[in-house]
Amino acid sequence: MADHDRLTYHVVQAYQRTEEGWIADEPWSGQTAGVVQARAAVLATMRTYVIAFSRTGDTQLGEFEEPTVLAEYGTPPPENDEFATW
């Protein structure tokens, strides 16, 4: 994998538990790991679960490494739980 094809995404994903089920916010991306960690800390005061992670890979091949968790707050949604829709 050539270095020029590698890209690292830094993302925050937040979830809210409601009476209807879990609602996922739109993912939010930032320029650096520090930026998404700071955003996650703020969202953690307003959401049930927040995770910030980075993922590096080859954009041309679509091959990415496993994500690296940068910050995690709250209780994650169960894997088999229903997600509410708007």
Query: Among all chains, which residue has been given the structure tokens 């937040």?
Result: 14
**pLDDT grade, residue 20 (50/70/90)?**
confident
pLDDT (tens digit per residue) in 45-56: 999 999 999 999
**What local confidence, expressed as pLDDT, does residue 77 receive?**
86
Residue 21 domain-assigned (yes or no): yes
Determine contact, residues 10/29, Cβ cutoff 8 Å: yes
Q: Kindly give, in sequence order, each residue whose CB lies less than 8 Å from that of residue 25, ignoring residues fewer than 6 positions away.
A: 13, 14, 15, 16, 43, 47
Q: Residue 86: pLDDT band by 50, 70, 90 thresholds?
A: very low
pLDDT of residue 84: 53
Reported as a single tens digit per residue, the pLDDT across 23-32 is: 999 999 999 9
Number of domains in the chain: 1
Looking at the domain assignment, is residue 70 inside a domain?
Answer: yes
Exposure on the CB side of residue 51, measured as CA atoms within 13 A? 11
Asked whether residue 79 is domain-assigned, the answer is no
In-domain check, residue 38? yes
Residue ranges making up the domain that contains 36: 3-74
Q: Determine the Cα–Cα distance for residues 9 and 82; give it in Å rounded to an integer.
A: 27
pTM for the whole structure: 0.84
Inside any domain, residue 55: yes
Residue 15 lies in a domain: yes
